A and B are shown apart, each in its own frame.
Chain A
Amino acid sequence: QVQLVESGGGVVQPGTSLRLSCAASGFTFSSYVMYWVRQAPGRGLEWVALISYEESHNYYSDSVKGRFTISRDNSRNTLYLQMNSLRAEDTAVYYCARGGIDGNYFDFWGQGTLVTVSP
Chain B
Amino acid sequence: EVVMTQSPATLSVSPGERATLSCRASQSVSSKLAWYQQKPGQAPRLLIYGVSTRATGIPARFSGSGSGTEFTLTISSLQSEDFAVYYCQQYNNWYTFGQGTKLEIK
Contact = CB atoms under 8 A, between A and B. Distances in A.
Interface of A: 35, 44-47, 59, 61, 95, 100, 103-112
Contacts, number: 53
B87 interface: yes
Interface string B27-70: 00000101010000011111001100001000000000000000
Interface string B81-98: 000000101010011111
Contacts of B43: 95, 109-112
Contacts of B95: 35, 47, 104
26 contacts: A35-B95, A44-B97, A44-B98, A45-B44, A45-B87, A45-B89, A47-B96, A47-B97, A95-B44, A100-B49, A103-B49, A103-B50, A104-B91, A104-B95, A105-B32, A105-B34, A105-B46, A105-B91, A106-B36, A106-B89, A107-B55, A108-B46, A109-B45, A109-B46, A110-B43, A111-B43
- The SS class assigned to the B binding surface is loop
Contacts of B7: none
Nearest to B100: A44
B96 A104 contact: no
Contacts of B100: 44
Among A35, A109, A110, A111, the most chain B Cβ lie within 10 Å of the Cβ of A109
A47 to B, nearest CB: 4
B31 to A, nearest CB: 9
A104 B46 contact: no
B94 A106 contact: no
Contacts of A107: 46, 49, 55
A5 B89 CA distance: 23
Among A35, A95, A106, A110, the most chain B Cβ lie within 10 Å of the Cβ of A106
Contacts of A112: 43
A100 B94 CA distance: 14
Among B43, B46, B98, the most chain A Cβ lie within 10 Å of the Cβ of B43
